[in-house]
Amino acid sequence: MHLEHPRHIRSFHPRRSRVTAGQQRALDAGWPHWGVEGDGPLDVAGLFGRTAPLVLEIGFGMGETTARMAAADPARDVLAVDVHTPGVGALLGEVAALGLGNVRVVVGDAVEVLRDRLGPGSLDEVRAYFPDPWPKARHHKRRLVSPDFLALAADRVRAGGRLHLATDWADYAGQMSALLHASPAWTVEHEGARPDWRPVTRFEQQGLAKGHAVVDLIARRG
């Protein structure tokens, strides 16, 4: 499959946040071990020192959910991608505290990583929990989940692999659902409440406190 994205619109808004002393220590100590440098195609087996099913996590917030899920699933490797330095430091701290060998961290645009650094059929799963909802109608074009994104993810996820999305914005959940059901590459297997095995994220807690309903969508690659 030949995929072109000549006008890739970033789905995140870079923000400046203060890095705590603890996060900076975790960055300094952990990046040489778990950080991924460069911008070329990834040697995944070389990064992890083994060949195992690979999960791409798009945006990991402060990293608690990423670390907990990786610890509970040691047979799979997790490539976690985000752009926000405090969260990178926090995740590296969690990885160190739990002694995880199955997490690597990339700082950058996850769509570009998916498009340019990972090959067809290389992923067991793509996760995107609570991507920026871009609530204003004029900004909806910036939302991560789009026909182009679903096509790209379908190319990179192996047959039988899956895509797991979660959001607390009702109209974004509706958009995700409509796009997944319209895609010939994906079969929706779950649409509703958070599965028990997915930990509640920090952003999710904030949404729940505001009365937002959370929707998880899990689709299987045909």
Q: Binding-site residues for S-adenosyl-L-methionine, please?
A: 57, 82, 109, 132
Kindly list the distances between the CA atom of residue 100 and the CA atoms of 34, 84, 147, 188, 220, in Å, as whole numbers in the listed order. Answer: 10, 21, 34, 31, 27
Region label for 141, one of left (φ > 0), alpha (ψ between -120 and 50) or beta (otherwise): alpha
φ and ψ at 196, to 5 degrees? -60, -30
Going by the annotation, the residues of the binding site are 57, 82, 109, 132, 136, 168, 201-204
Kindly list the distances between the CA atom of residue 77 and the CA atoms of 31, 53, 120, 218, in Å, as whole numbers in the listed order. Answer: 17, 6, 17, 19
Strand partners, 163: 126, 219
User: How big is the chain by its Cα radius of gyration, in Å?
Assistant: 17
Active-site position among 28, 39, 73, 132: 132
* CB-based contact 112:56 (threshold 8 Å): no
CB count, 10 Å around CB of 197? 8
Active site residue 39: no
Going by the annotation, the residues of the binding site for substrate are 136, 168, 201-204
Q: Burial-class residue 27 by CB neighbours within 10 Å (0-12, 13-18, 19+).
A: buried
Catalytic residues: 132
